[in-house]
Structure 1
């Protein structure tokens, strides 16, 4: 894991509202009585009734199935396959209008198979890109983002950014985040546009966007430096399972940057980051356990950090191992061998 975190620098033909129904016998009786009133009064009432009923029908019987296909497609552009399947069951016209997006999901699935070598196929980036582009051509923002990623990996950044922008403008949070990061990495960077798109991804709940926005606020990139606001977005991303944000939340609490200094909270988030596989957090949590005299636990976290590339953790672990009995050393290493990181967003 790259741990560069803390800054250094049922089908119907229509879908409409249900008409008002006469529900009880009293209402039925009153309705029958009114039918026998004198013809002149009845005619007047009927004219008034037709006039008001016509106005109500125009308001009550809006046919949502009459949405133009291009509008429907824009609304559903970033839908996943389960959402598309559900929407397609609403009415026949929606089923027909969403057919291209359902087809796009098949191309998206095959694209992922070719990209990652899944489902019995060999990895093939060209075939993956072709599948993603076919999905994108049918309006799926999910396919646009994946096609953009492949273009980026191929070094065709302009093509990638164009697809990110199209997905972002259709409201896809991943596309918004990737577009924002692309602006940060451009030569020269466009930091104002980057922050704008990262903010949109963040308010949509996209944790990677929240983390990147927090970094910009922390460093004062494209906006004024604002540590309390940065800490708030770090915390949101951490709560959503973003590991790097967990580490930074711990640092904010530990150093009193953006939050009031709180060592208990700092320790909590450092352990969470460590348990999710953040190697620096594993080293620092192991160090804290060592200072508390919890040698066995310290060795486990230091061993994990060392395997992740933290050389300082290896030295400290070896020092502690010399103080442990052979059975304790063996037990600690076995625990490290059997350790599995908690699932995370990143």
Structure 2
């Protein structure tokens, strides 16, 4: 059976072209709110369905699927994906451009790279990056809105990023719900679970706290200990401390103490002074050998 190998031969005919740019909103980009039209290309269908008889052609992947998969990519991953075939390179162009706006947004936000800190210019850059489909820019735009006191706008951008599978957006959305909308605690727990399974250490720690305290979910110390340990393995210092407490209460398993000590040793070399002090307190509370 004839199969196409990577990279596929390019005959100049693509199954999809470059992703369309978004129309400039009527209102000021600083005050623009996300809407379905901002990310319309995620819901648009390709002009022609791929022909199954063409084999495993990378360019046959519908661009709305590709855009969703790549929405949370950082620049190195985007560059790699753009090398797969010409169609992917063209389709991912808006996301590569979004990385430029994201870079300048961070410069304006923190006053780096020879520019003065300017939150409005930072927000403008993040919104331009978000308009091109980058969830990283959506999260940063949401954070600035939240810091400006515009919680609705911030949550809207967090939710867009979360729905596109961004773990940071999912975690931030959950925390916003806890703080601003206690009635949505159950939904917040669901977002924390998604981000935790994706490996987001802050989400793992927040989920463990909820399970430990019985906030929005049934209290379960064994499951809380599991997520504390996962976050500790990812380098989250407070999770290391809480894991030790779970061990001392007999909820983390007989091997937890030794494992936490190994994690602490791995983190000490790159730790700040505050983290070192916290880890020292954690170490002192742990027995020398698990019983």
Given candidates 2, 10, 13, the residue that maps to 1:13 is 10
Residue number in structure 2 paired with 1:95: 89
Residue number in structure 1 paired with 2:69: 75
CA shift for structure 1 position 172: 0.6
RMSD of aligned C-alpha atoms? 2.9
Per-residue CA distance 1:22-54 (angstroms, 9 max, x = gap): xxxxxxxxxxxxxxxxxxxxxxxxxxxxxxxxx
Retained in 1: the 8 A contact 2:235–2:267?
Answer: no
Q: Which runs of 5+ in 2 are unaligned?
A: 1-6, 13-50, 286-291
Supply the distance in 2 between the matched residues of 1:89 and 1:261 (Cα, whole angstroms).
45
Once the two structures are superposed, the pairs formed by residues 244-283 of structure 1 within 5 Å of their partners are: 244-260=238-254, 276=271, 277-278=274-275, 281=278
Retained in 2: the 8 A contact 1:216–1:223?
Answer: yes
Retained in 2: the 8 A contact 1:251–1:266?
Answer: no
Retained in 2: the 8 A contact 1:14–1:63?
Answer: no
Residue 85 of structure 1 aligns to a residue whose secondary structure is: helix
Supply the distance in 2 between the matched residues of 1:63 and 1:129 (Cα, whole angstroms).
39
Instruction: Classify 1:265/1:81 alpha carbon distance in 2 versus 1 (closer, same or farther; 3 Å).
Output: closer
Supply the distance in 2 between the matched residues of 1:13 and 1:118 (Cα, whole angstroms).
42
Retained in 2: the 8 A contact 1:271–1:282?
Answer: no
Supply the distance in 2 between the matched residues of 1:287 and 1:137 (Cα, whole angstroms).
50
The structure carrying a bigger helix percent of its residues is 1
Residue number in structure 2 paired with 1:225: 219
Supply the distance in 1 between the matched residues of 2:235 and 2:283 (Cα, whole angstroms).
21
Supply the distance in 1 between the matched residues of 2:78 and 2:257 (Cα, whole angstroms).
47
Given candidates 180, 191, 194, the residue that maps to 1:186 is 180
Answering whether residue 162 of structure 2 is matched by residue 165 of structure 1, we say no
Instruction: Classify 1:283/1:82 alpha carbon distance in 2 versus 1 (closer, same or farther; 3 Å).
Output: closer
CA shift for structure 1 position 253: 1.6
Instruction: Classify 1:268/1:100 alpha carbon distance in 2 versus 1 (closer, same or farther; 3 Å).
Output: closer
How many pairs does the alignment contain? 240
CA shift for structure 1 position 266: 6.7
Per-residue CA distance 1:189-247 (angstroms, 9 max, x = gap): 42110110000000011111111110111011111000000000000000011111111
Given candidates 145, 150, 157, the residue that maps to 2:144 is 150
Residue number in structure 2 paired with 1:139: 133
Supply the distance in 2 between the matched residues of 1:178 and 1:85 (Cα, whole angstroms).
27
Instruction: Classify 1:249/1:91 alpha carbon distance in 2 versus 1 (closer, same or farther; 3 Å).
Output: same
Retained in 2: the 8 A contact 1:195–1:222?
Answer: yes
Q: Which runs of 5+ in 1 are unaligned?
A: 1-9, 16-56, 289-346
Residue number in structure 2 paired with 1:198: 192
Q: Scaled by the length of structure 1, what TM-score is found?
A: 0.62
CA shift for structure 1 position 58: 4.4
Residue number in structure 1 paired with 2:111: 117
Residue 182 of structure 2 aligns to a residue whose secondary structure is: coil
Supply the distance in 2 between the matched residues of 1:210 and 1:220 (Cα, whole angstroms).
15
CA shift for structure 1 position 86: 1.2
Residue number in structure 2 paired with 1:315: none
Q: Scaled by the length of structure 2, what TM-score is found?
A: 0.73
